[in-house]
């Protein structure tokens, strides 16, 4: 996933939730799955940032996460032999190709924006508007990535 999404940082996988998710109270026991969440953990184990949501579409603004990371003032991560290598991803046949995620997010954005216009409950409308904003941020980032390539 790190290579596929061209992330400049490693991701943590915790199948079963025993190492991180349960200790950080981010495990949905009823469904035996992680709660949708983003954490920034300092090297000393302190939680610097937490964003938990009701579903996978609710994501924080990238700036909030990046600010939490920058607050740690950590040097670039290196191994004894240079940059930390990433394992080449092996996506399944069902996985979205990175080029197609933009098409998917544009469709999501359009559908959700339409639903938001129809919502009368301010809380429901606000939640849908957050999803539209998340899709807009992704599409902007993807366009910038394509321009650099």
Would you list the domain boundaries of the chain? 1-79, 95-149
- Give me the long-range contacts of 126-130 (CB less than 8 A, separation at least 24): 127/54, 127/58, 130/58
d(Cα 145, Cα 72) in Å, to the nearest integer?
A: 26
Mean pLDDT for 27-53 is 89
Q: Tell me which residue of 36, 38, 148, 146 sits closest to 98, measured CA to CA.
A: 146
**% of the chain with per-residue pLDDT over 70:** 83
Give residue-wise pLDDT tens across range 45-99. Answer: 889 999 988 777 677 878 899 899 999 998 876 554 555 555 565 666 766 676 7
Question: Which of the four CATH numbers 1.10.10.10, 2.130.10.10, 3.90.870.10, 3.40.30.10 does domain 1-79 have?
Answer: 3.40.30.10
Is the pLDDT confidence value at 116 over 60?
Answer: yes
Q: How confident is the model at residue 68, as a pLDDT? A: 94
Does pTM surpass 0.75? no
Whole-angstrom Cα distance, residue 131 to residue 116?
Answer: 10
């Amino acid at each position: 996933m790190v290579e596929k999404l061209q992330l400049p940082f490693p991701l943590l996988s915790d199948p079963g939730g025993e190492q991180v998710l349960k200790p950080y109270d981010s495990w949905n026991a009823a469904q035996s799955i992680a709660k949708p969440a983003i954490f920034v953990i300092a090297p000393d184990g302190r939680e610097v940032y937490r964003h938990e949501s009701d579903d996978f579409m609710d994501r924080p603004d990238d700036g909030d996460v990046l600010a939490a990371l920058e607050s740690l003032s950590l040097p670039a991560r290196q191994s004894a032999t240079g940059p930390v290598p990433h394992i080449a991803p092996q996506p399944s046949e069902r996985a979205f190709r990175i080029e197609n995620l933009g098409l998917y997010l544009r469709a999501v954005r359009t559908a959700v924006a339409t639903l938001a216009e129809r919502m009368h409950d301010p809380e429901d409308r606000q939640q849908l508007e957050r999803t539209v904003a998340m899709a807009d941020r992704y599409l902007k980032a993807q366009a910038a990535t394509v321009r650099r390539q």
